[in-house]
Amino acid sequence: MTITFGTATARPGEITYGEYDLIKHPISGPDRLPVIIAQGKSDGPTFWVTAGIHGPEHAGLHVIHRLITPELVGELRGTVVAIPALNPTGLQMMERGPYYHDGDPNRLFPDGRPKKPLDPDKEPPSALEEAYERLFEHIKATANFYFDLHCAATDSVSFVFRDRVLYRKDEDGAKIKAEALDAKLGEMCAAYGHSVVNEFPVEKYLDEKLHRSTTSAAINVAHIPALTAELGTGHMPDPNIVRASAAGLRNVMRWASMLPGKMEPITGIKIAQPGFPCRRRLVARVPHACIIHHLVEPGDVVKVGDPLCEMRDIWGRPVGEGVLRSEYDGWIISRAHGIVRYPHEATLSMAIRDESVMVGSYPDDYFKE
């Protein structure tokens, strides 16, 4: 399969490099995305891997550098298309989004709704939104599988977010197709081999505009199996997580029949396996102003009633009951930054037991004008 993206064109048995013009600046040249295309000598699926849509999240860039090697291409069946920096201006400035867009760049991908005429009393789509829409058309036209690489937080374990799969109730067979796609996501999660966190339940998923993220657009608009990997700290990549992610992506390619051989063991990282599905929530909110002492670490599996942190005053004396205990079964994703807390502030990000459906319908009015 011949794939051309920007100035890079796939060549069997080679790695090619190029650039893709994202947006043009008023007083300078364009923002260009770096492009890498690795193609094996035999035909097979096309796997897209992107990173850096949030500028300070650097580990994904390291993963792509480790993943795409001459050794990989020598064994590869099919094609890998990689973009190490979806937001090059944010990367340069160490900012979550580029200076020319106000808002989260990972909430700009197509949502499946038909385009409406521009309303002169509302802001039109930004240049970045239009640019990502063009980029998405390339993904939609060529990708069989897709991974987007992020970093959750300092002190976080490595994990994947598994998106909710949405379907239209007014389309025959849509739910069955959505369930089949969700099953593919489960297989991809298992192949990648890191901890798994389900995204928010459907209603909140839509409220938070997570359906307009890179991977949700791939899943729910293009119907392409896709996962978001969260690779621990952003500013200083953890070499163990980088190695484990590269191994996980190679395992996904083995699952997709793009690479030969047995699955690689995922080593060097904690993998939480509580025995039930989990979704994220900020937890252990303090009832009093206090200094906290964490009693758990990222990756720890906890049960209802387990102690999570101590609350003390500035002199070290217990505050209130002295200890916050878990309200949920689940596992610890990360500890919130800092030790000073005001009332109602969370101390931990936790993966709690999830009993919500993974496949849900769009609201009845979602596609209406």
**166 pLDDT tier (thresholds 50, 70, 90):** very high
Can you tell me the mean pLDDT for 321-334?
A: 97
Work out whether strand 42-51 and strand 77-83 pair parallel, antiparallel, or are unpaired.
Answer: parallel
- Whether residue 213 contacts residue 107, with contact meaning beta carbons closer than 8 Å, is answered with yes
**What does the mean pLDDT of the chain come to?**
96
* Domains parsed from the chain with CATH numbers: 4-273 (3.40.630.10), 278-353 (2.40.50.100)
Q: How long is the chain? A: 369
**115 pLDDT tier (thresholds 50, 70, 90):** confident
**347 pLDDT tier (thresholds 50, 70, 90):** very high
Please tell me the distance from the alpha carbon of residue 101 to that of residue 123, in angstroms, as a whole number.
12
**18 pLDDT tier (thresholds 50, 70, 90):** very high
Residue 337's pLDDT is what?
Answer: 87
Q: Is the pLDDT of residue 9 over 90?
A: yes
Distance of CA 251 to the CA centre of its chain: 18
Helix (H) or strand (E) holding 145: strand 145-150
Strand partners, 23: 31
This prediction has a pTM of: 0.96
**369 pLDDT tier (thresholds 50, 70, 90):** low
Q: Is the pLDDT of residue 79 over 70?
A: yes
Structure tokens at 177: 């197709």
pLDDT exceeding 70 applies to what percent of the chain? 100
Residue 154's pLDDT is what?
Answer: 86
- Sheet containing 348-353: give its strands across: 14-24, 30-39, 77-83, 42-51, 145-150, 226-231, 158-162, 195-198, 278-283, 348-353, 330-335, 301-302
Can you tell me the mean pLDDT for 302-322?
A: 97
Strand partners, 146: 48, 226
pLDDT exceeding 90 applies to what percent of the chain? 92
Q: Quick one: CA torsion of 176, 180, 185, 187, rounded to 10 degrees?
A: 150
Q: Is the pLDDT of residue 329 over 90?
A: yes
pLDDT tens for each residue of 80-114? 999 999 999 999 999 999 999 999 999 999 999 98
pLDDT tens for each residue of 45-54? 999 999 999 9
Q: What is the DSSP letter of 178?
A: H
Q: Is the pLDDT of residue 306 over 70?
A: yes
Distance of CA 219 to the CA centre of its chain: 12
Residue 123's pLDDT is what?
Answer: 87
Please enumerate in sequence order all residues whose Cβ is within 8 A of that of 225, keeping only pairs 6 or more positions apart, or say none. Answer: 144, 145, 146, 181, 184, 185, 188, 218, 219
Residue 1's pLDDT is what?
Answer: 73
pLDDT tens for each residue of 232-285? 998 899 999 999 999 999 999 999 999 999 999 999 999 999 999 999 999 999
Please enumerate in sequence order all residues whose Cβ is within 8 A of that of 44, keeping only pairs 6 or more positions apart, or say none. Answer: 76, 77, 78, 79, 256, 257, 258
